[in-house]
Structure 1
Amino acid sequence: MAQLSDDCFAFGGPMQTVDDTVALIAARLPAVEGCETVALDSADGRVLAEDLAAPFPLPPFTNSAVDGYALAGADLPAEGEATYRIAERLQAGMASARTLGAGETVRIFTGAPMPEGADTVFMQEDVRVADDGRVVFPAGLKRGANVRPAGEDVATGSVVLPVGRILRPQDVALAAALGLTGIVVRRRVRVAVFSTGNEIVAPGAPRGPAQLFDSNRFMLGAMLRRLGCTVTDLGILADDQARIAEVLREAAAGHDLILTSGGVSTGEADHVKASVESVGTLVFWRVAIKPGRPVAMGVIDGTAFIGLPGNPVAGFVTFARIARPAILALAGARAPALVATPLRAAFAYRKKAGRREYVRVTIRRAEDGSVEAVKFPREGAGLLSSLVETDGLVELREDSVGVTPGDTVEFLPYSSLL
């Protein structure tokens, strides 16, 4: 586990921007220790632990890019037509043992190695076969046409996948093309998650008239697993400060991060706050974000603690914009750039300058063919339906004071946040 100092989350200002918060997290959270080698079929989604360099070029040999006829560039017809004898037939997976002579051509298929002496390929549809079986080529083809040189895709020794890459299917394919059977990756980040409160019960349990079923714990667990974490679900803890403190200390011993939602505000019923302070250190980050504040960051026996807001929408947004970068930092991952898509707004919205706000929207095609964002019709950070029935978030930056219909806004699909 990464052993954090008690003051690693300390900051100097009363209010932080989202960008400053993410930068601070990336600078102060070290990657977890430990690596393992996984088979290719288990590598998708894992974090690469070291640069992966190409042991040989791709393609490893010069080959034909088309089905056609190979010949020497020096033997191309200068003008008019020229006739050539077919000396050999090469399919993919076959190699020629002869050197091509003047006036000769090789019937070759896509992917087959170029024969010695040949450097150009006529596409089969651009030639004609004479009655005597010889091939007639027209003039005008450029030397080197329709050939894939060795190393065209990847050069020997080049870094094809950098350390910290979150591996994708196409990355796994490249590793396989280089003949690898296993990839060295970071071990998974271990995260403990629990809910607190006498007012919530687990789905399937009897629910009292003043109680709610616990939903945040399942949402956070699913989001963590999408980031490749190993999740320990500690269930629901009653409003008992001593018991919560005991669980926090036990969880710190075997995890890299403890993640909760709710119970970390300054109210007298917020037992998580007092419990964390009794066994570790706690800092409230007044992040200029809506929905979302406050977010609690802390350290318990060298293990990171993040306390998210209890309202589900606020918990979702702060996980995506604050907890996710922290988890990627612990994983040793290079966080993918979060690039918003510009769309036309089909709604009006007012906000305060100086904070980042996120508006839940649905995407639709307007009558004029433009793609536009439609705001969810109801407000409220407790509306789970607003996350289910929308496609993503419109991000309104700190200098914005609102939106009028027709404005260009920045759209973040949920797929980019999970």
Structure 2
Amino acid sequence: MIGVEDHLARCLDGVQALDPIDLALLEAQDCVLTEDVVSPLDLPGFDNSAMDGYAVTVADVSGASATTPVELPVVGDIAAGSTRLQQLPSGQTMRIMTGAPVPAGAQAVVPVEDSDGGVHTVRLTAAAENGQHVRVAGSDVRCGDVVLTAGTLLGPAQLALLAAVGRARVRVHAQPRVVVLSTGSELVDPGVAPAFGQVVDSNGVMLTAAAIDAGARPYRVGVVRDEAGAFLQTLTDQLVRADLVVTTGGVSAGAYDTVKEVLRGLGTVWFGKVAMQPGMPQGFGTVGPDGTPIFTLPGNPASAYVSFEMFVRPAIRKMAGHRGLFRRSETATALESWSSPAGKLQLARAELGTTDDGERVVRLAGAQGSYVLGGLARASALVVVPEAVTRVAEGDQVRCLVLDRRSR
């Protein structure tokens, strides 16, 4: 039996970041940049108004107030989208809309709320400071600035910035294509009522969703029966679409553990026991002519999920070019006591919360059996109990891996 850290190191050594690809912006969402992006232009590209109002010189409205309004002739209108730079003569004003170019000679914008809204002449009831309500060219981004660095995860705001500086495409790490295979003759697809002795394939759904959450593009193959030929044929057929394969079931010591039987014959995958609870039986290696990485996870739902979190998720994130591979951790106070097996790293499914005074606290999410899905669905953290600790006592400080949804 090997330690969790040793198996994790084996898995991470066996995968590499995928080669960069060139994608259109919306195709690149949730991908990681492989290049620094330098802006070829200023943002804003011209001085523009931050308000609907009146473009003025500061001196012309210096004495304006609600009791002593200043009246100015309105000599023009400037709408957003205007492409002609206008000139504002001294002693006059122009109506201006939000986003419209500020005319040459204007120093500020008086909001329409500080006026009577005049069209030909206007009474302004507030003075203005130089630069008031003017978005100065280059005040956000200057030409030549590095606006995004390699390693940045692209979300809506980053894609907007790329578009604003003129990029229609960008180079990123591809999101890994992950094929998920569920093995077991007892399994039926979701939506099919299980007969006596049958079980719905919840693992396939769970692991496919977990792969999406990790930043991959998964494909759930569905149920593969416990027949060596069927499993081998399905795996061979799916390798063409896979950067990584995840199987669940068939890796223990039973008479019908097909995954272990087939892959051990290929001589490419290590199978063994990892000192953790749940999820002791594990397998990892490569298959096929391109050396596609494959993870073989246990069949019990909690074991499969915890195994994915500990080994598969970090590997996917490495392949996708992420800087951070692991879940963030927090320290919390245990609200109850429980036992932990000697010599194994326990990963207890738990509910993480906060007291009224801000203390982080944690309690077990129900029964901890490897088959238990109800508690797993309530879990918001995995409590990490070291191998040398056999009991967590109420009040102990424990380390929790936080299961943030869509956390990157």
Deviates more, 1:242-251 or 1:92-101: 242-251
Q: Is the 8 A contact 2:176 2:243 kept in 1?
A: yes
How far residue 315 of structure 1 moved from its aligned partner, in angstroms, is: 1.0
SS at match of 2:264: helix
| Structure 2 unaligned regions, length at least 5 | none
Q: Is the 8 A contact 2:69 2:125 kept in 1?
A: yes
Return the alpha-carbon distance in structure 2 between the equivalents of residues 361 and 87 of structure 1: 68
SS at match of 1:218: helix
Return the alpha-carbon distance in structure 1 between the equivalents of residues 143 and 274 of structure 2: 47
Query: Which AA in structure 1 matches 2:394?
Result: T
Q: CA RMSD in A?
A: 4.2
> Corresponding residue for 2:109?
121
From the superposition, tell whether residues 299 and 228 of structure 1 become closer, same or farther in structure 2 (CA, over 3 Å): closer
From the superposition, tell whether residues 162 and 355 of structure 1 become closer, same or farther in structure 2 (CA, over 3 Å): farther
SS at match of 2:205: helix
How far residue 183 of structure 1 moved from its aligned partner, in angstroms, is: 4.5
Q: Is the 8 A contact 2:183 2:249 kept in 1?
A: yes
> Corresponding residue for 1:63?
48
How far residue 233 of structure 1 moved from its aligned partner, in angstroms, is: 0.8
State yes or no: 1:217 paired with 2:210: no
How far residue 47 of structure 1 moved from its aligned partner, in angstroms, is: 4.7
State yes or no: 1:148 paired with 2:135: yes
SS at match of 2:405: helix
What TM-score does the superposition give when structure 1 sets the normalisation length?
0.76
> Corresponding residue for 1:238?
226
> Corresponding residue for 1:5?
none
From the superposition, tell whether residues 417 and 309 of structure 1 become closer, same or farther in structure 2 (CA, over 3 Å): farther
Mapping for residues 30-45 of structure 1, pairs under 5 Å: 30-33=16-19, 35-38=21-24, 40=26, 42-45=27-30
Q: Is the 8 A contact 1:343 1:411 kept in 2?
A: no
Deviates more, 1:89-98 or 1:343-352: 343-352
Return the alpha-carbon distance in structure 2 between the equivalents of residues 355 and 84 of structure 1: 82
Q: Is the 8 A contact 1:280 1:298 kept in 2?
A: no
> Corresponding residue for 1:309?
298
Deviates more, 1:198-207 or 1:49-58: 198-207
How far residue 323 of structure 1 moved from its aligned partner, in angstroms, is: 0.7
How far residue 15 of structure 1 moved from its aligned partner, in angstroms, is: 1.8
> Corresponding residue for 1:106?
94
> Corresponding residue for 1:256?
243
Deviates more, 1:141-150 or 1:284-293: 284-293
Return the alpha-carbon distance in structure 2 between the equivalents of residues 408 and 84 of structure 1: 70
State yes or no: 1:376 paired with 2:361: no
Query: Which AA in structure 1 matches 2:249?
Result: G
Query: Which AA in structure 2 matches 1:111?
Result: G
Choose from 369, 378, 386 the match for 2:375: 386
How far residue 345 of structure 1 moved from its aligned partner, in angstroms, is: 5.1
Return the alpha-carbon distance in structure 1 between the equivalents of residues 59 and 365 of structure 2: 68
Q: Is the 8 A contact 1:73 1:120 kept in 2?
A: yes
Deviates more, 1:179-188 or 1:90-99: 179-188
From the superposition, tell whether residues 255 and 75 of structure 1 become closer, same or farther in structure 2 (CA, over 3 Å): same
> Corresponding residue for 2:312?
323
Q: Is the 8 A contact 1:194 1:234 kept in 2?
A: yes
CA distances 1:222-274 after superposition (whole Å, capped 9, x unpaired): 3334534141516313143x654455455445522221112223556534223
How far residue 312 of structure 1 moved from its aligned partner, in angstroms, is: 0.5
> Corresponding residue for 2:80?
92
From the superposition, tell whether residues 397 and 53 of structure 1 become closer, same or farther in structure 2 (CA, over 3 Å): farther
Return the alpha-carbon distance in structure 2 between the equivalents of residues 306 and 283 of structure 1: 10
Return the alpha-carbon distance in structure 2 between the equivalents of residues 351 and 126 of structure 1: 69
Mapping for residues 130-149 of structure 1, pairs under 5 Å: 133-136=121-124, 142-149=129-136
Query: Which AA in structure 2 matches 1:112?
Result: A
How far residue 365 of structure 1 moved from its aligned partner, in angstroms, is: 7.7
Choose from 385, 396, 402 the match for 1:412: 402
Return the alpha-carbon distance in structure 1 between the equivalents of residues 357 and 196 of structure 2: 50
How far residue 298 of structure 1 moved from its aligned partner, in angstroms, is: 0.6
Percent identity among equivalent residues? Answer: 31
> Corresponding residue for 1:177?
164
Q: Is the 8 A contact 1:166 1:334 kept in 2?
A: no
CA distances 1:26-47 after superposition (whole Å, capped 9, x unpaired): 565223347353463x443445
Query: Which AA in structure 2 matches 1:217?
Result: G
State how many pairs are aligned: 400
Return the alpha-carbon distance in structure 2 between the equivalents of residues 164 and 332 of structure 1: 7
Query: Which AA in structure 2 matches 1:59?
Result: P
Return the alpha-carbon distance in structure 2 between the equivalents of residues 148 and 353 of structure 1: 64
SS at match of 1:192: strand
| Structure 1 unaligned regions, length at least 5 | 1-12
Choose from 59, 62, 68 the match for 1:77: 62
From the superposition, tell whether residues 367 and 92 of structure 1 become closer, same or farther in structure 2 (CA, over 3 Å): same
From the superposition, tell whether residues 66 and 290 of structure 1 become closer, same or farther in structure 2 (CA, over 3 Å): farther
How far residue 322 of structure 1 moved from its aligned partner, in angstroms, is: 1.8
Q: Is the 8 A contact 1:263 1:270 kept in 2?
A: yes
SS at match of 2:317: helix
Return the alpha-carbon distance in structure 2 between the equivalents of residues 285 and 244 of structure 1: 20
CA distances 1:259-296 after superposition (whole Å, capped 9, x unpaired): 11122235565342232222142235765543333332
How far residue 383 of structure 1 moved from its aligned partner, in angstroms, is: 0.9
> Corresponding residue for 1:167?
154
> Corresponding residue for 2:184?
197
What TM-score does the superposition give when structure 2 sets the normalisation length?
0.77
Deviates more, 1:52-61 or 1:330-339: 330-339
